[in-house]
Each structure stands twice: as structure tokens, then as C-alpha cells.
Amino acid sequence: MTKIYPEVSTCQVSIVIFEQGLVLSQRTVNCSDASYTFVGLSEGPYRACASIVLTGLPLDNNKRRCISVFRNHHDILMSSLDIAMISLFVVFCLVLLISIWGLRRLLFKSNFQRINVLFNLRGKQISTIDM
């Protein structure tokens, strides 16, 4: 029978959260359930480190494994680049619509002369000429 090292019953995992080199929080959990949720931490990039702690042996910091944790802001807010691109698209659409409207007025402007001839009841001719 093979022996699994380290034994789960005596194994613990030390989890340390660092921010800019300072320890924010530290927890020790059993290897059988090696997860922990840290609450109350401010936003920011963190460095999370974990190492296996065997009972009766000193903690070896050289065997610590660390990762950098970043919060994904794209899930919550649009970035400034997204806002700038949407603004440019809206401005481009407005300029395009105004250009089409102005070009339409220029091309279809009526240049014909209006001549109205009105007759009143007595038979006199009243003419209106707009040129």
C-alpha cells in the first residue's frame, strides 16, 4: 500500500494575503477543505500565498506558492475607452445625419418661379408674382 504524503489528517494549508508587501490577513485551514473566503478586503491587487504546514515542523517560506489576484473591472463598469468609442460613434452618426439632411435640402431646393393669378368677384385681375 502506498503512503500519501502529506497525510490529510495532520496536514494544514497556510493562506496569507499581502497588499504592497504588508500582510492583510492570514488563515490556516485543513488540507481536506483547503478553501477560505476572505471578506472585508478593500479593492486592489493582492498577492495570495499558500504553503503546506505539517504539525510539528517549522513553516518553510521557501516552499510558499504565490499568485497575484486582480479584480476584473470590466464586469462592473465600462472602461473609459468603451465610453470614448461610444461617444465617437454617436457624434459620427449625428454628423452623418446632418450632412445627409443638408445635402438633401441643397439638391431638392425648388427654384421654379411661383406665379399666382387671382380673380376677384368683379372681374378685376390681381396677380402675384414671386421671383
Query: pLDDT tens, 117-130?
Result: 555 555 555 555 55
68 neighbors 81 (Cβ within 8 angstroms): no
95 shares a domain with 50? no
Q: Which domain holds residue 110?
A: 80-131
- 120: in domain: yes
Q: What is the pLDDT of residue 89?
A: 97
pLDDT at 91: 97
Which pTM does this prediction carry? 0.46
Say if 93 falls within a structural domain. Answer: yes
Shared domain for 20 and 53, answered yes or no, is yes
Q: In degrees rounded to 5, what are phi and psi of residue 111?
A: -110, 5
pLDDT value of position 90: 97
Please state whether beta strands 22-30 and 46-54 pair in parallel, antiparallel, or not at all (unpaired): unpaired
Domain count, the chain: 2
Q: CB-hemisphere CA count at 13 Å for 3? A: 4
Task: Answer yes or no: is 111 within a domain.
Answer: yes
Residue in the structure block whose three cell numbers are 411661383: 114
Is residue 3 a part of any domain in this protein?
Answer: no
Residues 54-97: tens digit of each pLDDT: 766 666 655 788 988 876 655 556 678 888 899 999 999 999 99
Beta carbons within 10 angstroms of residue 15's beta carbon: 18
Rounded distance between C-alpha atoms, residue 68 and residue 61, angstroms: 17
